[in-house]
Every structure is written in structure tokens, then in C-alpha cells.
Chain A
């Protein structure tokens, strides 16, 4: 039975640093296990497509450049991704991971929402192909 039960709180907070984070100027480090943007290591991938099978958002596509020599390019759409890490869970060869650094993914350009992961020459090969209109990409499997 009293009036102003939060008096202590408000008086203390007058002399305390505000709890507000000055976000774009001061950034708190993200926790180690944060599920940020997807990372792909092409050297370990066997092209089993298990990651694509269970993706709830159709955010990843695997383009096979050369199946025998295990040359794959992963096309990743960060805007579709729901960051659930099911693909990471599914991958048996540990070639997928979620970044704890790339989490500020908002952008004004559409191009940033198509990310190609793979060996440099494979990505180049693929982009060149795509640039030549009318030429079909080698066997895209979703």
C-alpha cells in the first residue's frame, strides 16, 4: 500500500548510463553461435543436395559445373533465407556454416541478395554463361 513504488528505480536511473544501445555507432559483438548469413566451403561439398531438400525457404540452389571433378557453385539468396540453419544440420561434410559476423544484411540493392559461393573460376564461368543470353545453365537442380 504505497504510492510511487518505482521511485527507487527512477532516481537510480537518473544517475545511471541509459540502457539504450547507440546501435549504428556502437555495435555489440554478436554471440558465437549467431545464425547470420550462410557460408559455403566448396572444397568439401559432394553435391548431395541434402541441404536444398530441407530448406524451408528455397533460399539455396546448387549449380553443378562439373560433377565428376566436384565443381559446384552455390547460389544463396539472403533475402529468402529464414536463418534456421537446417541446411547446416543436414550437411554431412560440414561445408556449410552460419556466420556470426555477417548479420547486417539490409541493403538497397537487389544484387546483394544473390550471392554466389564457390571456387573463383567456377563462379566466373557461371556468371559468364548467364551473361550470354539464351544459353542455358548447366543442369540446375533445386
Chain B
């Protein structure tokens, strides 16, 4: 692999520019679907892009009493984490750009950086809404992270590999894991929603309570970067779940169909529920989500052994 190829894969495809674009497209599809579920028209196709352009054009206000460096660095870090994670997943059904045994764990950690950065960003300011939002973001991080991880470990254990590309290839050859491990699929999908703070898990940014949660003080560039970061995470998360549970991603058409199918389900779930309070979220994950995922994992290990 020469330097030019590495740069290309980092900056244009599949990292960098392509990922940003697809993130915006997926955000639009999500918003459009939720709107249609609610009998509305929804935004036009360029709306997410227009939002980002508008935010980038706006002044970035740095509030008093924050650590300036941290305030400016955190959005970049969050986006960088998400973009890096993309290098290890089979985007568009192509082979991941980089791959090594155990990259699944690295990817999951990189994906968690987003929530961590948001929590830090909220705790960095003195704004009360941000502080409450940061607390909730981090609380939620602790609740969904373990079940989400356990849910993605299911296929890994069955295939006997911790390398995303291998699991992807294996999943394509065997029966879809959604059929053999339905609980894991549900936990993974719902965990992804928790990760992205989508309704009903949007307590950390519940607008009717704490305005915009941890990001209340962010404006302009910082807010735009956080938003793009979230969109990128949406794409990566969908790719991971589709690759693991929906029989792998071998070509672009399969990728598009499977991830969009997942997005339809996710949009439906988003519009179906009232927002959970943070205590209800934690309760749901630890009392139900984690236990189910653990039970499934136990069954898998016993069956293998």
C-alpha cells in the first residue's frame, strides 16, 4: 500500500469526504422517514447540507469561563474518532481500507469517543443546561455501551474472529445472524439509537428540559462538526449492524438495501415512543438490555463449547 493510496483512503474514500457526504444523506433519509411516519412532508434533500453550510458560515461564540483549547479541540476530536472508525468497517460493501485482528474492539472504542467528547464539552462550560446534559450523556454512555458491545460480540464469538472484515465475510456465508441471534440484533440496533441519542433515548439533549444538552453553548463550526460526527456515526453504526446481523455486506447494492432497511426500522422506532427519562434509560439497559445480551452470549458460548 503506497502513500498516495493511504492518503486517498483517508481523505476521499472511504474516509473523509465520501463519509461526510453519505452521513448527510443518511441524516436526510432519517429525517424524511420520521416526517413521513408522522404524516408530514419532511425536509428537502439538501437540508442537512444547508444546515451544515449555515453553521459553518456563522460566528463561533466561545463562552466565558471555558477552557478555550478544549472547547475548540473537542468537536474536531469527536469527528476524527468517527472518521477513523470508518476505515475498519466494510463501507459500500468494499473491503475495509485497513484491517488487523481485533479491530472490532478498536472501532467500538473509536465510536465511543463521540459521546465522551460531548460529555467533556458539556462539562467544560459553566452553563447549567450543558452540565445537566453532560451528566446525562455520560450516564447514558455507561448504560448502553456494555449491552451494545455484548451484542456485537455475539457474531464475533460464533465466527471465532475479532476482525470486522472476517466476521463480515463469514456472515455472508452462513445463515443470517438476525435469525440465529435475534436478541443480539435488537440490542445492537437499540444500542445504536442510544449511542446516537435518537428518540426515545434523547434525554441528554431533551430540548424541552435542557435546551440542547451538552451542546447548548456550541455554535457555528463546533456545532457543525459535532453534527457531522453524529451523521458519520450513524452510517458506521448501520454498516456494522448490517454487516454483523444481516448477512454481511459484499457489494454496494447489498450495502444500500440493508442499511436503508435498518434505517427504516430505526426511524419507525424513533417515532413510536415517548422520551425515556434518564433513570428509565439506565433501568432499561441494565435490567433488560444487558441481561438479555449476556444470556444470549452465554448460550452461544455453551453451544460452541
The residues of A with any CB-CB pair to B shorter than 8 Å are 3-4, 6-7, 10-11, 13-14, 16, 18-20, 22
Interface residues of B in 268-287 (CB under 8 A from A): 268, 271-273
Taking a contact as CB atoms under 8 Å apart, the answer to whether A19 and B39 are in contact is yes
> Within 8 Å CB of A3, what residues of B?
273
Taking a contact as CB atoms under 8 Å apart, the answer to whether A19 and B40 are in contact is yes
Count B interface residues, CB 8 Å. Answer: 12
Report which of A6, A11, A20 forms a contact with B40, defined as CB distance below 8 A.
A20
Taking a contact as CB atoms under 8 Å apart, the answer to whether B40 and A10 are in contact is no
Closest Cβ of chain B to A18, distance in Å, is 5
Taking a contact as CB atoms under 8 Å apart, the answer to whether B41 and A10 are in contact is no
Taking a contact as CB atoms under 8 Å apart, the answer to whether A14 and B272 are in contact is no
Question: Number of contacts between A and B (CB, 8 Å)?
Answer: 32
Taking a contact as CB atoms under 8 Å apart, the answer to whether A13 and B36 are in contact is yes
> Within 8 Å CB of B39, what residues of A?
13, 16, 18-20
Taking a contact as CB atoms under 8 Å apart, the answer to whether A7 and B40 are in contact is no
> Within 8 Å CB of A16, what residues of B?
39
Interface residues of B in 31-63 (CB under 8 A from A): 35-42
Taking a contact as CB atoms under 8 Å apart, the answer to whether A13 and B273 are in contact is no
> Within 8 Å CB of B272, what residues of A?
4, 6-7, 10
Q: B39's closest neighbor in chain A, by CB?
A: A13
> Within 8 Å CB of B273, what residues of A?
3-4
Taking a contact as CB atoms under 8 Å apart, the answer to whether B40 and A18 are in contact is yes
Taking a contact as CB atoms under 8 Å apart, the answer to whether A13 and B37 are in contact is yes
Closest Cβ of chain A to B270, distance in Å, is 10
